[in-house]
Structures are given as structure tokens and as C-alpha cells.
Amino acid sequence: ENDQVHIVAFHDILGGPLVHHMDLHGTTNEILGADKRLCRVYMDLIHPWEAGSPQTFELPREAGIPLGKDGYRAFRVEVHYHNPRRQSGLVDQRSGVRLYYSTVRRPHVAGLMLLGDYMLKLRGSYTVGSAGNNFTTAVAAGMRHSFYCPPTCFSETRLGARNDKQVPH
């Protein structure tokens, strides 16, 4: 009897041009899964999508993400928008994430590793969103930052695991 299935792919559905990024969170807790509030604290980030990223991501054939018994039981999609022109009256009733699963259990469990520094400093000040930064001044001045990490940053030798996708934010 096979009561364990694996998520094998994701397809991100964009409800409009203002979608900046989406995060799919999940919980393995049966009780929390029944709670409509689904607090972010008790959920794992399973799948991120960023503007410019491919909308479909397939896991390698040998890896999957457990779903159902001994796996994720409930999900929450968090959609962030970028509306620099401050357009009003817009409604997004379509954005989301389609999951594809297999009833054939995969030999390995896929995971997500987040890399970054929430205290990152740029030009002597904290990034947008922290108490130490004046967002209005930064936007008015046209401040932009660009980051690059060579492929060797994500090599299997360096990480100790195989990397199948990177999503910079």
C-alpha cells in the first residue's frame, strides 16, 4: 500500500504584471493544517518564485517533496506585488502555484536552502525595509543594487548537496 506521494513539479500562475514574487509555504502538522490562519511561523518555505524566473520547475527524477501522510498537509501562497505607479482598483484572483505529484515514491527528499544576510549593509546603510533606511529617499534617488554569485558558489562540492535551482531576490 502506497500512502506517500511526492511533489515532483511546480507551475507558478501569474495573475497580472504586478506580481513581484510568490512563496509557497507548507505545514506537516495535521492540526495546523486545519487552521485557516496558517501562521507563517509554523510553516516551511517550500517553493519560491521571483519575477524573471521560469514559471515551471521540475524536481530531478530521483527527488521529491513528501505530500500527505508523513508529508505536507496544508499550504499557503504568499503573493507580493510591485506597483510603482500606485494603480488602484486592481484585483488578483488568479495568482497561485499548481503542484504536480507522483504516487511513485522518489528515492530522495528534496529540500530548500536559503542563503542570505538579513543584516546586509549597502553603502553604509541597511537595505530597504529596515528601521535604519529611509525608503522614500532611496526610491527618489533611484538607488539600485545588483548582486552576482558565480556558479561555483552553488557547486555540489561547496554545498555538499546538488543544486537544481537558484532564485535570487
What are the tens digits of pLDDT across the range 47-93?
Answer: 999 888 889 999 999 999 999 888 998 888 999 999 988 999 998 98
Predicted confidence band at 30 (pLDDT cuts at 50, 70, 90)? confident
Parallel, antiparallel, or unpaired for β 108-109 and 121-122? unpaired
Q: How far apart are CA 17 and CA 54, in angstroms?
A: 15
Contact 167, 50 (CB under 8 A): yes
- Mean pLDDT (whole number) for 158-169: 63
What grid cell was written down for 83?
A: 506597483
Please tell me which residue, 84 or 155, carries the higher pLDDT value.
84
- Is a pLDDT exceeding 80 seen at residue 149? no
Q: Map 15-64 to HEC letters.
A: CCCCEEEEEEEEECCHHHHCCCCCCHHHCEEEEEEECCCCCEEECCCCEE
pLDDT the model gives residue 118:
53
For residue 139, the 8-state DSSP code is: H
For residue 158, the 8-state DSSP code is: H
Q: How far apart are CA 169 and CA 163, in angstroms?
A: 17
Please tell me which residue, 150 or 36, carries the higher pLDDT value.
150
Contact 92, 26 (CB under 8 A): no
pTM of the model: 0.71
Contacts of 108 (CB under 8 A, 6+ apart): 62, 63, 64
Predicted confidence band at 42 (pLDDT cuts at 50, 70, 90)? confident
**Per-residue pLDDT tens over the stretch 90-148:** 989 899 999 999 999 999 999 887 766 555 555 545 444 444 444 444 444 455 555 66
